Chains A and B, each alone.
Chain A
């Protein structure tokens, strides 16, 4: 039995150790670093099931005042660990592509950090999951974002990656500014940064609705950038397309779940204030409607799969916002909104990792990541084509996959909250989604391949893909284990 904070400490220390090893490793193959990282993260994941529980009342001054290890925090920690493992597997597969676009004097030079930095992102995500205090949440978010700044621009030989890096840096810094300013306003109004105390104080404040709404808007703008909600989504397509593929996947899963989790925590105090509750929900509804519609409609005619997945990730942010906008004081029979979002993010992680893992393999062996490069994949590699079919079906929301259960729960929340506008937009979005996800299926199965060379799949990746496909089905039929994990 360990105290929960050991998990983060192990991940961070091992990250530092890897960096140290890397600096002495000269020309050696750097993929070993990633394998070490995968092993340790897997151990930490197992360790997360052997933890001491929260003390019931934290002593003043102890770290429990800003750190919690409740079931939902643990759930998101595990999500971060699994995501990072998936990303490292992809990073191993994309080694060749990476090496080509990094100008280096010696072979393998300048590659090592690519395998170490994801661990720091992971630690940031784990701290974020536990943050009960705005300051810790902010610091954790920055740890995530700063390691992303490096990773996005990592392939410095490619102009697209550099462009993505600059865009991500500028907009990320700007959004951070908004969040800090918002936190300052919250602190100014309540004198607290601990979320529980903030919530208590806010209900006692009178006559400062405008100030409260302003603080809420500032935080929302900042987090809107992080989760790629309309109208703050402009950076997403370029950054996703330009960044190295594993990092795109990481951004799409990690950055989004961190942002959504923080948003869920931060809006709770605002929703407790009766006088602004309706306005807050109204703003969230508008944002959710715009995001779900824009993401899905803009993805319709994308020719590049990475770009299409970028727009689809905006669409999925929209579905998550639909759930957030459906928070009501009366509990829904379909479970809490928090559990719905947790399950959706879990499913989203599985199907996104699966799609990007296959994308990494196919694009490195077909020299491109347009949809047309997937033509006839069913002939070149039936295994990859079937797996990508499962991923796309799950993203579109076909039953017996996690994607369907997630959508089902979100729509059920929205119906229970009588969000008819969002439901109407959601119908359009889902139908559009079927079109663009099925385009990939059509390319793989209907069309003839331009090159017929089979695609080699390394053993580790093959195992990972198989596990992801099986989990998509298993948790798509038996979601209970996940939901229970979240509730206890």
Chain B
């Protein structure tokens, strides 16, 4: 099942690259992907921890437990659901490419295949490899169809992410070698077994922890490694921005939850520099995300930059949940990954639609669009409310859990202070998001915005589905948490 899920976008991309197929084929691939993911979602037995729908090849290297293996558990399934819906929206709402439409669509499908593969992999090596698969299509798309300083942005995002990836690779191998020799494996299931958790001696945990946190941190745009993200997202064509900020970036956080939390639980308590423990440094970095980037976001005068910076800022909350190292906090961050992915994808989708109509996203030139494009306006408003964390949206439920979790049992003296400071982030995000909404959609319509045409037919449905999922997560968080709970409990044992 997972193999088919992975093959659909890859085969679609190959056929497009060979010159066969058009946007219709791309849409069929995306629809199939969503349908398959939903089937897996409902067929999955959520009372059990551990992987289901597994598939594994023979070992690929002599003497090493490294296989091509696929499988999902609650955590990865939630992210697969996210990637399926965001891919669907990205394909549906992508503007028609004027030059080389087939390459454009093939690149979208390849990025989507990369994220699907990363979340469906049950093997560390392929988990890493699939993530890197998205690098070349991203590079080509930003450079060819991006806006603004697109080539500079493409270079920055590619080289920066390559740097993060190689540090991450070193971290993964270092983690592998830190496990005592008979138990070494690249298989996530074996790594998850309870007896493995305390196998790595405390003294040996710090080095892989640092490599992995910096590596994942770069991929997630953790402060101060974030500078690739805003320019990259702002210049990227809409589908890339949606997939990258919505789904691909969650890869690093997923890795933190999957590897760093369960396998290196004590590393955070080790001192790095005088009294500062590793966890304190991580907390400082995430405060940088929430407070510093939050203030930077307020200063932005272009809609795409506002959304891009806000997506960097929200990574701070997810890291805060991970730093709490307890069930509530981890569940909160896992659900927030899902919620943030949906809301930021919806925001970028609307921003892309405005760019298509106006040609610019400068907030000074926009205004009053709610009259001519009410559906886009409502979706933007909903996604804005979700992103701020208003009750009724999945973001509220998850952010609350993150704050409770972080405040609950302090692992270090600093985490409570950090939580209190982070709460101000909610106010900051309300300031910039509401202001952006006001200047783009409210007030007197500008001359051009009064002539815009709203979304039609199926596009409405697709964008609406993202908002619906956000609301479902807000009203029935328990349903989603029931998928996460067994997995995360296992990670913490």
| Residues A477 and B68 in contact, CB atoms below 8 Å apart | yes
Selected contact of B159 from candidates A412, A426, A435, A446, CB within 8 Å: A435
**A126, B325: Cα distance in complex, Å:** 58
Of A198-206, A291-299, A479-487, the segment with at least 4 beta carbons within 8 Å of chain B is A479-487
B132 proximal to A (CB < 8 A): yes
For chain B, the count of residues having a C-beta within 8 Å of the partner chain is 36
Task: Give chain A nearest CB distance to B14 CB in angstroms.
Answer: 11
Nearest neighbor of A416 in chain B, beta-carbon distance? B177
Answer whether A335 and B60 are a contact pair too, CB < 8 Å, given A427-B170, A430-B166, A445-B144: no
| Residues A431 and B162 in contact, CB atoms below 8 Å apart | yes
| Residues B174 and A484 in contact, CB atoms below 8 Å apart | no
Answer whether A335 and B159 are a contact pair too, CB < 8 Å, given A441-B140, A445-B144: no
A398 proximal to B (CB < 8 A): yes
Contacts of B62 in A (CB 8 A): 335, 480, 483-484, 487
**A400, B130: Cα distance in complex, Å:** 8
Interface of B is mostly: helix
Answer whether A431 and B166 are a contact pair too, CB < 8 Å, given A333-B181, A399-B133, A400-B133: yes
A424-446 contacts to B (CB < 8 Å): 426-427, 430-431, 434-435, 438, 441-442, 445-446
B329-347 contacts to A (CB < 8 Å): none
Answer whether A438 and B63 are a contact pair too, CB < 8 Å, given A398-B132, A431-B163: no
**A445, B151: Cα distance in complex, Å:** 12
**A159, B277: Cα distance in complex, Å:** 63
B492 proximal to A (CB < 8 A): no
B173 proximal to A (CB < 8 A): yes
Contacts of A479 in B (CB 8 A): 60-61
B469 proximal to A (CB < 8 A): no
A404 proximal to B (CB < 8 A): yes
Task: Give chain B nearest CB distance to A176 CB in angstroms.
Answer: 37
B129 proximal to A (CB < 8 A): yes
**A455, B64: Cα distance in complex, Å:** 45
**A438, B157: Cα distance in complex, Å:** 12
| Residues B61 and A483 in contact, CB atoms below 8 Å apart | yes
Contacts of B136 in A (CB 8 A): 389, 393, 398, 441
**A430, B144: Cα distance in complex, Å:** 24
B158 proximal to A (CB < 8 A): yes
**A484, B181: Cα distance in complex, Å:** 22
A478 proximal to B (CB < 8 A): yes
A423 proximal to B (CB < 8 A): yes
A187 proximal to B (CB < 8 A): no
| Residues A398 and B135 in contact, CB atoms below 8 Å apart | yes
| Residues B169 and A411 in contact, CB atoms below 8 Å apart | yes
| Residues A477 and B169 in contact, CB atoms below 8 Å apart | no
A235 proximal to B (CB < 8 A): no
B167 proximal to A (CB < 8 A): yes
B321 proximal to A (CB < 8 A): no
A348-395 contacts to B (CB < 8 Å): 386, 389, 393
B166-205 contacts to A (CB < 8 Å): 166-167, 169-170, 173-174, 177, 181, 184
**A484, B62: Cα distance in complex, Å:** 7
B232 proximal to A (CB < 8 A): no
B17 proximal to A (CB < 8 A): yes
**A441, B162: Cα distance in complex, Å:** 15
Answer whether A480 and B163 are a contact pair too, CB < 8 Å, given A386-B17, A435-B155, A446-B151: no
Nearest neighbor of A386 in chain B, beta-carbon distance? B17
**A25, B132: Cα distance in complex, Å:** 53
A415 proximal to B (CB < 8 A): yes
* Per-position binary interface string of chain B over residues 120-151, scored 1 when its CB falls under 8 Å from any chain A CB and 0 otherwise: 00000100111011011001100110000001
Interface of A is mostly: helix
**A115, B70: Cα distance in complex, Å:** 49
**A283, B315: Cα distance in complex, Å:** 44
Answer whether A446 and B173 are a contact pair too, CB < 8 Å, given A398-B135, A441-B139, A480-B61: no
Contacts of A389 in B (CB 8 A): 136
A334 proximal to B (CB < 8 A): yes
Answer whether A333 and B60 are a contact pair too, CB < 8 Å, given A398-B135, A427-B167, A431-B159: no
| Residues A438 and B169 in contact, CB atoms below 8 Å apart | no
Answer whether A333 and B162 are a contact pair too, CB < 8 Å, given A411-B169, A415-B174, A442-B151: no
Contacts of A408 in B (CB 8 A): 125, 169, 173
Answer whether A430 and B162 are a contact pair too, CB < 8 Å, given A404-B129, A446-B151, A487-B62: yes
| Residues A335 and B63 in contact, CB atoms below 8 Å apart | yes
Contacts of B63 in A (CB 8 A): 333, 335
* Per-position binary interface string of chain A over residues 440-480, scored 1 when its CB falls under 8 Å from any chain B CB and 0 otherwise: 01100110000000000000000000000000000001111
Contacts of B169 in A (CB 8 A): 408, 411
Nearest neighbor of A427 in chain B, beta-carbon distance? B166
Contacts of A393 in B (CB 8 A): 136
Selected contact of A442 from candidates B128, B143, B163, B177, CB within 8 Å: B143
Contacts of A404 in B (CB 8 A): 129, 132
**A445, B159: Cα distance in complex, Å:** 18
| Residues B60 and A480 in contact, CB atoms below 8 Å apart | yes
| Residues A333 and B166 in contact, CB atoms below 8 Å apart | no
Task: Give chain B nearest CB distance to A182 CB in angstroms.
Answer: 35
Task: Give chain B nearest CB distance to A466 CB in angstroms.
Answer: 13
**A29, B140: Cα distance in complex, Å:** 43
**A398, B63: Cα distance in complex, Å:** 24
| Residues A400 and B166 in contact, CB atoms below 8 Å apart | no
**A483, B133: Cα distance in complex, Å:** 24
**A101, B10: Cα distance in complex, Å:** 46
Answer whether A446 and B144 are a contact pair too, CB < 8 Å, given A334-B64, A399-B128: yes
**A335, B62: Cα distance in complex, Å:** 8
| Residues B173 and A335 in contact, CB atoms below 8 Å apart | no
* Per-position binary interface string of chain A over residues 411-425, scored 1 when its CB falls under 8 Å from any chain B CB and 0 otherwise: 110011000000100
| Residues B155 and A412 in contact, CB atoms below 8 Å apart | no
Q: What 10 new A-B contacts, CB under 8 Å, besides A400-B129, A427-B163, A480-B59? A: A386-B17, A398-B133, A398-B136, A411-B166, A411-B170, A427-B166, A430-B166, A434-B158, A442-B154, A477-B68
23 residue pairs bridging A and B, Cβ less than 8 Å apart: A333-B177, A333-B181, A333-B184, A334-B64, A398-B133, A399-B133, A400-B129, A408-B125, A408-B169, A408-B173, A412-B173, A415-B170, A430-B162, A431-B166, A435-B159, A442-B139, A445-B143, A445-B144, A446-B140, A446-B144, A480-B59, A480-B61, A483-B62
Q: Which residues of A contact B (CB under 8 A)?
A: 333-335, 386, 389, 393, 396-400, 404, 408, 411-412, 415-416, 423, 426-427, 430-431, 434-435, 438, 441-442, 445-446, 477-480, 483-484, 487
